[in-house]
């Protein structure tokens, strides 16, 4: 078993139940010194993919899961981990997510060492408005503070086509 720090749409408990059905939620917390951002240059009208980057003074809300070893390859393929042959189902192109070790701060367990997926692409892409809505809804379902959800919805996004 290993601990996974889920952010983005993986904050949605129902989505995680589909992607890693035998891996229970441990708790929620924050990646202190990290910032949610979006990868640049991915060919998709659905917007750039979410990722996290180190940034002192910032933080990202996360849900921590105890991922069972048999769920990990399935989750890796959903997230597009290169050595697992993953791809972005929206664009049909290969993704370059990799796993990094992070430290999450929790109120009930204190600091927890976990891993997170980080997009191996340049920062600066824009998400779609639909994508931001999905991120905000997932964060709300996971119990993120209202200010965090509001900040997600206030982010700049791709122009909506008429």
Any idea what the CATH number is for the domain that residue 37 is in?
A: 3.10.490.10
Residue 149 has what pLDDT? 98
The mean pLDDT value for 50-70 works out to 96
Quick check: 162 pLDDT over 70? no
Residue 159 belongs to a domain:
no
Residue 157 belongs to a domain:
no
Residue 140 belongs to a domain:
yes
Residue 27 belongs to a domain:
yes
Q: Which of 38-47, 51-60, 153-162 has the highest mean pLDDT?
A: 51-60
Tens digit of each residue's pLDDT (9 = 90 or more) over 8-23: 999 999 999 999 999 9
Residue 156 belongs to a domain:
no
The domain in which residue 87 lies consists of: 2-148
pTM for the full predicted model: 0.88
Count: domains in the chain = 1
Query: According to DSSP H, which parts of 4-82 are helical?
Result: 13-19, 72-79
Quick check: 77 pLDDT over 80? yes
Spell out the long-range contacts of 17-20 with Cβ–Cβ below 8 A and sequence spacing 24 or more: 19/71, 19/74, 19/75, 19/78, 20/65, 20/67, 20/68, 20/71, 20/72, 20/74, 20/75
Residue 24 belongs to a domain:
yes
Residue 122 has what pLDDT? 80
Distance of CA 116 to the CA centre of its chain: 8
Quick check: 159 pLDDT over 50? yes
Residue 57 belongs to a domain:
yes
- Please state, in angstroms and rounded to a whole number, the distance separating the CA atoms of residues 105 and 89: 32
Residue 29 belongs to a domain:
yes
Quick check: 106 pLDDT over 50? yes
């Amino acid at each position: 078993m290993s601990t996974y720090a889920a952010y983005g749409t993986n904050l949605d408990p129902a989505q995680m139940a589909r992607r890693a059905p035998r891996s229970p939620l441990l708790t929620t917390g924050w990646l202190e010194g990290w910032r949610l951002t979006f990868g640049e240059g991915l060919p998709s009208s659905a917007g750039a993919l979410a990722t996290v980057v180190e940034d002192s003074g910032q933080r990202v809300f996360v849900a921590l899961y105890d991922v069972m070893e048999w769920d990990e390859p399935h989750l890796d393929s959903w997230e597009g981990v290169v050595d697992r042959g993953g791809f972005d189902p929206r664009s049909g192109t290969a993704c370059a997510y990799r796993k990094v070790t992070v430290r999450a701060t929790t109120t009930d367990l204190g600091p927890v060492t976990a891993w997170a997926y980080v997009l191996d692409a340049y920062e600066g892409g824009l998400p779609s408005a639909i994508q931001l809505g999905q991120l905000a809804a997932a964060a709300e379902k996971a119990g993120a503070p209202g200010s965090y959800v509001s900040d997600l919805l206030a982010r700049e996004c791709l122009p909506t086509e008429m």
